Structures are given as structure tokens and as C-alpha cells.
Chain A
């Protein structure tokens, strides 16, 4: 625990709880909200440079094989067409390093290739003066293929067993022997389909070259530094020459953290044409231009005493990956830490199929892992005749059994208690099919969720201006999690100014470093960096006031001076700065030391994912936790399922702005409702393609699918987890929602659905 944290906690109790709109912890309205409700927030693709050309992608209609010939003769003749890129004509780039900072090869990178690994893979790009002309001309490109047999998905008989990922193996005790000897046991398989992030802002970019080796990219980005690195390496220009701008992001949920091949294509076209190029990925293309959550399969065996105490957990998982790359949807995370068990074994395999490489979607790994264990423990409860909440408390993990370390904090018991109380769990009738209203079967289910703390240093500039205003600068991003707002709160807190006097500028690679806005880490770590920089700015101001020969406050011979509301001592900051001949004070601070990291290589720290701390590096195991209580109503005749009530309690440590945290929690729960009941990439096995590649057929929750949702915070400040006591907020709320719904559906109907989503055909079949 750092002394700073104490100071802050103290000042918070003095001011923040009074709700004067100043402190961290207050329910402050989103500072970027005004621009957003007015339509004045300009997202990256809304930048309008002069002489903009438009690029449109042409995708492969086959899932595997080779492009034999691209006929572009008709397209070339179409009005307005300026450039057509194909595997035959696109110039090679240099292969960029991956997010570990490793270069897979020293060879060239071709953003378009003759080899086809999945349906929808980009085969050509047409650039024209207007979007309409480019769309029209793209239709005139014809492609001939040599078709090869494709592996459609995990369930395709040709997929095989894939390969084991040894780094994912987790084991202690002897799970197999303990399972064999256990008096009670279950063994079940749980599966999840391909799922897609579907941010409402589609992907895309505008690329503009200032000269031969200066490139600016306007692109929605969860990771300014990482994406800038990729572009700079592709084009072999110095990192500093690459400017990446992403002021607002229209949702990402994991999908906007990397530069994808369409980015290379657009930047390539801009270079060849010598004019800015905009490439907006179409909604159908968003299903194949980058990957969503991989399809997963888990076999779980639980062994227990007759009283329900776990003796063994045995877990075998697999996920699909692409034929050209490896994505591990790590299914062993939640299952290894959620419950106390003396014996544990988990292994994971990846199976290549003809799909775009899957990628991160909210709570990657933890989400399917919780789907498995939180369904299985529920099945065990019924098997043994225990209440589903009671079995979770009976097997409560008092410490991290995997790491054999204490928790940094774990208020999960409190979450169960608070959620159960608000939900009215004690009034639950235990038997399946025992609660109903007319033709509606009612079911109540519970499940828990968790997400590990990821922590990377951050950096920020804080400026004190002559008019008493404050500026905060960082290359961090805000995709809706509230970064703008809580960083304004942080600076306001430390400098005792109203939040309205703080201007936060984010999303620009020319600003101080920030790591990836993913893994629920960004808001917490940037709060730490901004807080440190703001306190340093205050100290510098006081130091100048006490020591500068021209300072009008020097005669006071004070040890310190109060700073706040645009004043130092009884002087306006502007007047003071004028007196000492300055127009602002600026400090830059980073949090390498606070995170136990060396500051030697900031480039590597911020442009790769290797700069982060582990979840357990300070002798504590740090995670966010939650408990979901969900009611469903299932129509007995039609098998339709509606979620009618949700109460969820969260331990995310200290909450910097409850209003924004509650919004994120509800949003995560709603995505979990989608995952449970609606979302599934439907694969046409004949052609190896996802056929519901649009928002009318890939169903996400609408307003009418969502009931009232009550969220409760049971967290306490956790200074083992982060500098200022917060834990991750954004990922954990989706974790455990789908199993809570499946558990409720079982309670309502007596039918256990182990294959997501829970659709009516599975219930009435």
C-alpha cells in the first residue's frame, strides 16, 4: 500500500462522498457525453481530408484453395477507378512483429495472397474517387479459383484432434485417481459456437501519407502503440513517423486492438496513389476481416463427496484456430481458481479449421471457462441434492489453489450474499419445473464469474495552465469505458479543481505512452499514472512558489501552500505564473517503478503485450469477481426463453465512478444474455462459410430482449491489485451470465442445455 493511496482515500472521504462533483469515486456524468448526444463526437472514419479516395474490398467466395486468376479488365474501365490491388499487383511489405514483439519471419508480407485459407479472405481492393464508384467497380472484378477441400469447423469430421498447447496444462494432485475414487461424479461436455464482437461502429481506416516516410492513420483503436508499431514495421518507417489517431471508438470489445490486413491494403493504396484513402469494412465483411471468439469444446469431470465437497476437477478443452495462425481461447482459467479442489488437471488443444484467425472478444478464455465450470458445478448440485448457491459456498476457494497464494481481495462470498438477498434466492423452490406463471415455466439460476488483473505501467502528461485549467494527455483510449471521465476526475481530485476545468486528450500516438486498452486494465493503470503526474505538477507549482526568486509567495517562508480551484495560496495560478514568467507548468510521469518494472524499454513495454505484470507477481493473486442471479421464463409450448430479471453483485475493488461502472456491468451482462440465447455464427458446412454475416441474422440483444438489471458493488479498495485500489470492471460482467441462464433454464424446464446458444429447438426437441 503506497502512502499516496492513503492520501487519496482520505481526501476522497472528505470530498468525494459528499458528491460535490469533484473527486474520484463520485457519480460524475461522462465528460465526453455532451459531444456524443449532440453527434459532435468525431470518430476516426469521420475525418475528411481533401481529395479522399475510397477503397472497397473483394472477398474470396471459397474457403480453401488458390486464386488462379483475377480478371480486373471490366473494373478498370469503370468510371472513377484509380487503382486495383490484387495478389498479382500488390507490392510486398515487410513482415511486422507480433504482439509479443517477435517477427515470425524476416520475409515479405503480402496483404493479398493467392493462397486462400477462409471464405471472405480479401482477394482484391478497388479504389475510386467515390464510394459508389468503388462499390460498383468491385462488383466487376471476377476471380477464378482452384478449390481445395475445406475444414468447416470444429465439428467437421476432417478437423481432427489438433495439437496440445503445453503451456496451457495446469495440474496439481492426482485428478484421475481422485475422480476414480470419488463417491459422486459427473462427466459432461460443454460447447460454445463462433461468436462475434459486433461493435456498432464497423472497422476501417483512413490512411494519408504526408511524404515518403510519414504516415497518418485514423482508425478506431484499442491499442494506439501496438497498431502504430505494426504499420511502422510494415512500411519500414521509424515509429515516430507513424501517427495514429483514434479520438473515439464506437465499441471494440477486443476487436480493435490489432492492425489487420485491410489496414495494410488501405495504407498501401494511399501510398501508391499519393492521396488519402478511406477503407470502411462493410458490415458483412466484419465477420471475416478479423476473427471473433473461437468455437470451443470442453469436457469436464467433477468428483465429489456425497456431501458435495469437490475432490477432483478434470478438464479437457479445445478451440478452433485458423490454418495459418494460432489463437488459444484459454478455457482453463476460471475453472482452475473458482473452487477449492485438492486434485486438478486441465489440458487444452487447438484445432485448425478454415476460418479467419479467431481473436479476443470480451473476457477471452475466462468466459467459456466459466460456461463450463459454472454449468458443471450446478449439475453436481442437483446430482447431490444441494442448493446451487450452497454448493458454491461449500467449495469456496479461500485462496488461489493454482498459484498457492492468497487473494489480493476476494469479496465473492459478499457478492453471493448481496445478490441472493436482493434477488430473494431463499424463496426459490428447489425442484426443476416447480415454479410457473400460466404457460410460463419460471427458473432461477446462479453462477459466478472472474477475470484476472492485468497491469502494465502507463505514462501521462499533466499541464497546469494560466487560467487555472488543467490538461491531461495520454495515448490511452476511450471506447465507452469512461477513460476520459475518470482521468478528468483523477486530475481534479489531485489538484482540487472542478472536473469541468480538466481537459483530457486521448487517442493519439503523439501523446505519452499507454498500453493496450484491453484485459480490463486501462482505466486503472492510467488513473495511477495521471494521479502521479498531477501530484507532481502540484508539487512543482508549490516548489516554484516557495523557491522561485520572482515568486510573490516566497516571502511567506511557508513549508507548503494550499493549491485548489485555480489558486495557489491566495494568488490566482495565472497571476502567479505571470509573476514568475511562465505560461504553464507541465510534468510527465510514468508508473514503471510502482509496477516493479524497468523503464529501460518503453517501446517494448507499450507496443507489445510483454510489458505487463502477471496476475500473481507480488505474492497475491488479483482478480475481479462477480455473482449473477437470473430469472428466466420459458414458454412451455414454444420453448422460447426470456430473461425476466437479473441481479448481479461485483467485486471490482474500488470504483472510480459508479455511474460508469454500472453501465459497463449492465452492458457486459447484456452481451452475456446474447451469448446465452442468441449469438452463433452459423456455418454452412458445404462451403465453410458463416452464413449469418449481418445484423439481421447474427442476433444480438435488442432493447426488447433486456429486462431490468440490478447491479451491486461489494468491492473494497485493493491496493495489492493496483496503485489506487481499483480492479478491472469491463470484462468480468459477461463472465458467468450464460451459465446462470442455462442453470435457470434447467430449473425452469428440467432440461440441461450444454451447447450455446439456448434456442427453442434444443428445448422442445
Chain B
């Protein structure tokens, strides 16, 4: 039975979760459907929009192109785990700069932005634009996203 359920133990936002799913379940669907962590969004389910961006061992990863089984033994951070008490500075900067409208791309943008700054790719506006271009925003919040990341990057230096 290729699709017989498998048992997984995943570390998400600092908590261990046990999960029994078919091996073909993506990390994105596991987060949203199994754990109710719906902050991670599904915009295309085929790796083209960035709405599902999460961190796996601190790196930005598309959860729709990752199987839940692939992240066993690794640490997963979603938007819900980013600033559990106070807002993460990137979240605060997004809020301040109105870096979204509908908000659907926003968790993915923020997860990408945190990684973009950490990677050292937020040195100039053009660099931010380039390294944030895997995250589509149809509302067109890009100029405000750049402003928010610039501010958060400067504050982190």
C-alpha cells in the first residue's frame, strides 16, 4: 500500500506534534488541515507564489513543495511561531508601513523577509526587490513591503 499512513513527529514553532498521514501529504496541507496553522497560505500549490513560505531549520522553504515527511527531525517555523509574544520587528514594520492590503500573501512575505534580512540580502532597495521577488502580491503592496524590510533591516544592524 504505497499510501498507507505513516507516523511522523514534527517540531513546529518549538512544539512537538505527532501526526499520522499519508506519505504524499505536503507540509502545507499538514500545517493547514491537520494542525490548524492556517497562517501559512495556499496561493498556487505549485511553487509559484510564495504564499506558503515557512522556515525549515531557519531557511525559507515553500511548504507546498515540501512533504510533511521531509521535515521530520528538523525545526519548522511558521508565521504563528515568529513573534509569539511581541511582534517580530518585521511584523511590526509591515504593520507600520501598510505593507499589505488583503493580507493573503502577507505571512509568506514576512517569513521571506525575515530570512532575506538574515541572509544578508536586504542591503539596498534593489537587493530587497530582487530577493523578495519569489513572493507575489497581487494587491501590489511591493513599495510598502520594500519600505518595511528596509526599516527592519536597518534596525537589525
A-side interface residues toward B, CB under 8 Å?
29-30, 32-43, 46, 48, 79, 130-132, 136, 197-202, 248-251, 253, 280, 282-283, 479-482, 659-660, 662-664, 666-671, 694-696, 700-706, 708-709
Provide the bound-state CA to CA distance between A700 and B41, in Å. 19
Let me know if B156 is at the binding interface, CB within 8 A.
Answer: no
User: Do A42 and B38 form a contact, CB below 8 Å, given A29-B95, A200-B104, A480-B100?
Assistant: yes
Provide the bound-state CA to CA distance between A43 and B38, in Å. 9
Indicate if the CB atoms of B138 and A253 lie closer than 8 Å. Answer: yes
Provide the bound-state CA to CA distance between A37 and B86, in Å. 12
Given contacts A250-B41, A703-B129, 5 further A-B contacts (CB under 8 A): A38-B79, A132-B25, A199-B104, A200-B51, A251-B138
Let me know if B49 is at the binding interface, CB within 8 A.
Answer: yes
Indicate if the CB atoms of A36 and B29 lie closer than 8 Å. Answer: no
Taking the closest CB of chain A, its distance from the CB of B64, in whole angstroms, is 10
Indicate if the CB atoms of A706 and B129 lie closer than 8 Å. Answer: yes
Chain B interface mostly: loop
User: Do A202 and B43 form a contact, CB below 8 Å, given A46-B38, A695-B136, A700-B136?
Assistant: yes
Provide the bound-state CA to CA distance between A659 and B147, in Å. 14
Q: Which residues of A contact B3 (CB under 8 A)?
A: 79, 132, 136
Number of A-B contacts (CB under 8 A): 182
Q: Which residues of B contact A660 (CB under 8 A)?
A: 98
Indicate if the CB atoms of B140 and A695 lie closer than 8 Å. Answer: no
Q: Which residues of A contact B130 (CB under 8 A)?
A: 703-704
Between A and B, 19 residue pairs with Cβ closer than 8 Å are: A34-B95, A37-B92, A37-B103, A39-B38, A39-B107, A79-B3, A200-B104, A201-B102, A248-B104, A250-B104, A251-B102, A283-B43, A480-B100, A666-B140, A666-B142, A667-B101, A694-B46, A704-B133, A706-B140
User: Do A37 and B87 form a contact, CB below 8 Å, given A200-B49, A202-B42?
Assistant: yes
* CB-contacts of B60-105 with A (<8 A): 78-80, 83, 87, 91-92, 94-96, 98, 100-105
Taking the closest CB of chain A, its distance from the CB of B80, in whole angstroms, is 5
User: Do A703 and B146 form a contact, CB below 8 Å, given A37-B87, A250-B103?
Assistant: yes
Let me know if B36 is at the binding interface, CB within 8 A.
Answer: yes
Indicate if the CB atoms of A480 and B29 lie closer than 8 Å. Answer: no
Indicate if the CB atoms of A670 and B39 lie closer than 8 Å. Answer: no
Indicate if the CB atoms of B101 and A694 lie closer than 8 Å. Answer: no
Provide the bound-state CA to CA distance between A250 and B36, in Å. 18
Q: Which residues of A contact B126 (CB under 8 A)?
A: 704
Provide the bound-state CA to CA distance between A483 and B10, in Å. 39
Q: Which residues of B contact A664 (CB under 8 A)?
A: 101
Most central of B32, B44, B107 by chain A CB within 10 Å? B44
Indicate if the CB atoms of B105 and A200 lie closer than 8 Å. Answer: yes
Q: Which residues of B contact A46 (CB under 8 A)?
A: 32, 38
Provide the bound-state CA to CA distance between A664 and B98, in Å. 10
* CB-contacts of B115-157 with A (<8 A): 126, 128-130, 132-146
Let me know if B57 is at the binding interface, CB within 8 A.
Answer: no
Provide the bound-state CA to CA distance between A660 and B95, in Å. 12
User: Do A703 and B142 form a contact, CB below 8 Å, given A250-B41, A283-B44?
Assistant: yes
Indicate if the CB atoms of A200 and B136 lie closer than 8 Å. Answer: yes
Closest to B38 in A: A46
Indicate if the CB atoms of A695 and B48 lie closer than 8 Å. Answer: yes
Indicate if the CB atoms of A200 and B43 lie closer than 8 Å. Answer: yes
Indicate if the CB atoms of A695 and B36 lie closer than 8 Å. Answer: no
User: Do A480 and B45 form a contact, CB below 8 Å, given A39-B39, A48-B36?
Assistant: no
Closest to B111 in A: A39
Provide the bound-state CA to CA distance between A202 and B41, in Å. 10
Q: Which residues of A contact B140 (CB under 8 A)?
A: 666-671, 701, 706
Taking the closest CB of chain A, its distance from the CB of B58, in whole angstroms, is 18
Provide the bound-state CA to CA distance between A332 and B37, in Å. 48
The 7 A-B residue pairs with the shortest CB-CB distance in the complex, in nearest-first order: A39-B39, A250-B104, A480-B101, A670-B140, A36-B103, A667-B140, A39-B79
Taking the closest CB of chain A, its distance from the CB of B38, in whole angstroms, is 4
Taking the closest CB of chain B, its distance from the CB of A477, in whole angstroms, is 11
Indicate if the CB atoms of B133 and A38 lie closer than 8 Å. Answer: no
Taking the closest CB of chain A, its distance from the CB of B122, in whole angstroms, is 12
Provide the bound-state CA to CA distance between A132 and B140, in Å. 32
Taking the closest CB of chain A, its distance from the CB of B111, in whole angstroms, is 9
Taking the closest CB of chain B, its distance from the CB of A96, in whole angstroms, is 27
Q: Which residues of A contact B37 (CB under 8 A)?
A: 39
Q: Which residues of A contact B139 (CB under 8 A)?
A: 200, 251, 480, 663, 667
Provide the bound-state CA to CA distance between A444 and B137, in Å. 27
User: Do A33 and B29 form a contact, CB below 8 Å, given A200-B136, A667-B141?
Assistant: no
Indicate if the CB atoms of B44 and A695 lie closer than 8 Å. Answer: yes
Indicate if the CB atoms of B102 and A480 lie closer than 8 Å. Answer: yes
**Per a CB cutoff under 8 Å, which of A249, A479, A663 touches B98?**
A663
Let me know if B12 is at the binding interface, CB within 8 A.
Answer: no
Provide the bound-state CA to CA distance between A282 and B40, in Å. 17
Let me know if B18 is at the binding interface, CB within 8 A.
Answer: no
Let me know if B27 is at the binding interface, CB within 8 A.
Answer: no
Closest to B91 in A: A37
Closest to A711 in B: B143
Taking the closest CB of chain B, its distance from the CB of A47, in whole angstroms, is 9
Closest to A33 in B: B95
Indicate if the CB atoms of B98 and A37 lie closer than 8 Å. Answer: no
Indicate if the CB atoms of A29 and B98 lie closer than 8 Å. Answer: yes
Indicate if the CB atoms of A248 and B96 lie closer than 8 Å. Answer: no
Indicate if the CB atoms of A702 and B136 lie closer than 8 Å. Answer: yes
Taking the closest CB of chain A, its distance from the CB of B49, in whole angstroms, is 5
**Per a CB cutoff under 8 Å, which of A37, A282, A704, A706 touches B106?**
A37
Provide the bound-state CA to CA distance between A702 and B50, in Å. 11
Taking the closest CB of chain B, its distance from the CB of A645, in whole angstroms, is 12
Indicate if the CB atoms of A201 and B101 lie closer than 8 Å. Answer: no
Indicate if the CB atoms of A200 and B102 lie closer than 8 Å. Answer: yes
User: Do A250 and B95 form a contact, CB below 8 Å, given A39-B38, A667-B139?
Assistant: no
**Per a CB cutoff under 8 Å, which of A29, A32, A703 touches B96?**
A29
Q: Which residues of B contact A283 (CB under 8 A)?
A: 43-46, 48-49
Q: Which residues of B contact A197 (CB under 8 A)?
A: 138
Provide the bound-state CA to CA distance between A40 and B98, in Å. 17
Q: Which residues of A contact B103 (CB under 8 A)?
A: 32-33, 35-37, 41, 248, 250, 480
Closest to A707 in B: B143
Q: Which residues of B contact A668 (CB under 8 A)?
A: 140
Indicate if the CB atoms of B25 and A706 lie closer than 8 Å. Answer: no
Q: Which residues of A contact B17 (CB under 8 A)?
A: none
